[in-house]
A and B are shown apart, each in its own frame.
Chain A
Amino acid sequence: MMSVSAMPEKDATSGAFVHTKLMPILTHYGIFLFLVLAILVSGLITPAFVSRDNISNMLMQLAPLGIVVIGQAFVILVRGLDLSVASVMATSAVVATSFSGQNGDAAWVVLAAISVGIATGLINGLLVTKRNVSPFLATLATMIVLQGLRFAWTQGAPSGNVPPFFRSIGTGAFYGVPYNVVIMFIVAIVLAIVLHRSAFGRRMYITGGNPVTAKLVGISSDRITIAAYVICGALAAGAGLILSGFVGVVDNFVGRGFELDSIVAAVMGGVALSGGRGTVAGALAGAAILVVISNAVVMFGLPVQLQTIIKGVVIVVAASLYVNRSH
């Protein structure tokens, strides 16, 4: 599929044009071109795919993943990885049911949930920077610990209710635009400004690109790295609240699969696992492609199992395209 947009330049005879004009465009905007192409093709096959209802539906599915993938991108930018995001999401959703279930508690729920996210991010960041634990293991461990605490707290099955406020955030719409999508875009814009326009963002790129340089120019890369994990934890907690409002029912596994989906989306969107490369917009486009694929499979009436298979193929193909380009 990716090859649809990537093939023509290989057949082109004018190699110079390919290298000076086409390749940079594909490298920078390939993911967006692919997203547009995927939507167009799906729309041509099944017109219902581009119906107002279905687009709104896909956007609502995108919102939680979109928020998580931005956090994941921050962590990957500084050469990290966060496997604990799904566990943070579920824990935050369980927190949401642990109060009275009335709107009066909504502010406390948000405060408590985000605190859990920040605390988890802080522990992840400290383990990675101060104890030199590999990000994979550090976040795997916090993921397991959180899961255990959650199970122990809920005795296996959460019983309370999510305040109606979250229900309306998760499912309601503002002039046809779902609230949770509005939230996602606000988060994306704010964090894009932080990443691409602020001194902090610049320090993140330097830290991820080359920690030695970072040290030489006086950047505390430990602090930058910890901040990235904290931002990721807070975003995951927020996404957990939104998802619990969207689904309406909370179990111990809200957000299951988000750790892998968010990593995959970020990598597809051009965030390099080696650190120092990637954008917020690219990561969001990666997440959008995952949602489009899942939705298209259902709209085409194909077996749902194909979602997983196609997703797997796209991951490997997309990731390999980025590797080849960087060489």
Chain B
Amino acid sequence: MQAVLQNTSRYLSGGRSGHLIVIGLLVVMFIVGAVLSDRFATSNNLLNVYEQSAGLAFVSLGQTLTILTGGIDLSVGSIISLVAMLTSGLINGNPAMVLPVVLFVLVLGTLIGVMNGAAVVVTGVHPLIVTLGTGAIVQGVALLYGLGPTGKVPLNFDTFAYGRIAGKISIGATIAIALFLLVWFILRYTRSGRYVYAVGDDPHAARLMALPHKRVLIGVYAASGFFAALTAVYLVSRFGVGQPYTGANYTLASITPVVVGGTMLAGGRGGVIGTLLGVYLVSLLNNVLNFMDVSSHFQLVVQGLVIILAVSVYVEKRRVA
């Protein structure tokens, strides 16, 4: 037990030097942006980048947890789509329904996550295949609920996405930071948090030491489902309505910040702070590319190259260590 905890803390500190790479890239990106345009380094632009990072931040927070256990959640996109449709569909413009519906969909997302985790634990099938399957099911249910944008939300529902503290600091993005810090604390200082690393680092050893690995797995997929649902509520707040493909791009997009932030797909190494930096890196990168007048098409190319670059760097580190 002690050994596992020591190991995991060693990995955590290894993760911190990984943070330096991402921070370095953020600084480089900032300098490039500032050189490119006078409007880049203004508080206005940077606050916008901050505001726009919220959606990606929520979903990748949950994804980090599943990847830390050596799994992955490919159903988040479908969960976002279904929950987004239910949010605007059930509220349907009625202010009195906002609170109950938001609570309901957050619980629903969590329950879908619990089912994902249970399916992983019970069947023993690789999470990639399990969540691919459950993702297809959830997407099908979303399409049964409606084939296009469904329902509407009250006007002030956009506070979550567009509200600003003192007219400057985005509320949604700040909530995201708070949640990242909360999860970071849980991972770092609670027993359950250490178990997440232990299960991901060596599932066999975790089982031998009688760690509650089944509960840990169900827990991380439940968290992933919850954060996917939260992303959905955010997106409805931002766009005013949910439609059956609201979350389609988020499944793969949620993985990029995680791996760029230094969390290994093999599990057991990395952490949420790296992911948060990864989210900011992706957001800042898109912003800089906009200033460079790079077409949105080439932005994809750059994103793909960043993934290759990032994973190559981290692999190199592992070999040296």
Contact = CB atoms under 8 A, between A and B. Distances in A.
Interface of A: 81, 127, 131-134, 136-138, 140-145, 147-149, 151-152, 155-156, 260, 263-264, 267, 273, 303, 305-309, 311-316, 319-320, 323-324, 327
A309 B129 CA distance: 14
A316 B259 contact: no
A152 B133 contact: no
Contacts of A263: 129, 132
Nearest to A152: B297
B308 interface: yes
A198 B297 CA distance: 43
A255 B312 CA distance: 29
Contact of A138 (B139, B303, B305, B308): B308
11 contacts: A131-B312, A136-B128, A140-B307, A145-B301, A152-B295, A306-B140, A308-B136, A309-B144, A312-B139, A316-B119, A323-B123
A109 to B, nearest CB: 23
A315 B128 contact: no
A25 B281 CA distance: 53
Contacts of A151: 295-297, 300
B10 interface: no
Provide the main secondary structure of the chain A interface. Answer: helix
B299 interface: yes
Interface in B119-150: 119, 122-126, 128-130, 132-141, 143-144
Given A145-B300, A148-B304, A309 B123 contact: no
A324 B133 CA distance: 18
B297 A264 contact: no
B189 interface: no
Provide the main secondary structure of the chain B interface. Answer: helix
A297 B125 CA distance: 26
Q: Which of B119, B125, B138, B255 has the most CB of A within 10 A?
A: B125
B265 A136 contact: yes
Contacts of B129: 263-264, 267, 273, 315-316, 319
B120 to A, nearest CB: 10
B301 A305 contact: no
B178 interface: no
Given A273-B126, A308-B136, 18 more contacts: A131-B311, A133-B311, A134-B265, A137-B259, A137-B265, A141-B307, A144-B304, A148-B300, A148-B301, A263-B129, A267-B129, A273-B128, A308-B139, A309-B141, A313-B137, A319-B129, A320-B122, A323-B124
Contacts of B297: 148-149, 151-152, 155-156
Interface string B11-33: 00000000000000000000000
B301 A315 contact: no
B140 A141 contact: no
Contacts of A155: 297
Contact of A133 (B141, B296, B304, B315): B315
B191 to A, nearest CB: 29
Interface residues of B, number: 44
A313 to B, nearest CB: 6
A140 B252 contact: yes
A17 B144 CA distance: 45
Contacts of B302: 148
B1 interface: no
A15 to B, nearest CB: 23
Contacts of A307: 140
Contacts of B134: 312, 316
A267 B124 CA distance: 14
B70 to A, nearest CB: 11
A323 B123 CA distance: 7
A91 to B, nearest CB: 13
B133 A316 contact: yes
Interface in B90-140: 119, 122-126, 128-130, 132-140
Nearest to B138: A312
B132 to A, nearest CB: 6
B308 A309 contact: no
B161 to A, nearest CB: 26
Contacts of B119: 316
Q: Which of B129, B296, B300, B312 has the most CB of A within 10 A?
A: B129
Given A140-B252, A307-B140, A147 B128 contact: no
| Among all A-B residue pairs, the 5 with the closest Cβ atoms | A148-B300, A312-B136, A309-B140, A148-B301, A145-B304
Contact of B125 (A145, A152, A314, A320): A320
B5 interface: no
A289 to B, nearest CB: 14
Given A140-B307, A309-B137, A312-B135, A147 B315 contact: no
Contact of B132 (A148, A303, A315, A323): A315
A142 B319 CA distance: 23
Nearest to B72: A136
Contacts of B175: none
Contacts of B143: 305, 308
B301 A260 contact: no
Contacts of A320: 122-125
B299 to A, nearest CB: 7
B181 interface: no
Contacts of B138: 312
Q: Which of A136, A267, A312, A315 has the most CB of B within 10 A?
A: A312
Contacts of A308: 136-137, 139-140, 143
B303 to A, nearest CB: 6
Given A152-B297, A303-B144, A319-B125, A309 B307 contact: no
A315 B141 contact: no
Given A306-B140, A323-B123, A313 B133 contact: yes
Given A137-B259, A141-B307, A273-B129, A305 B140 contact: yes
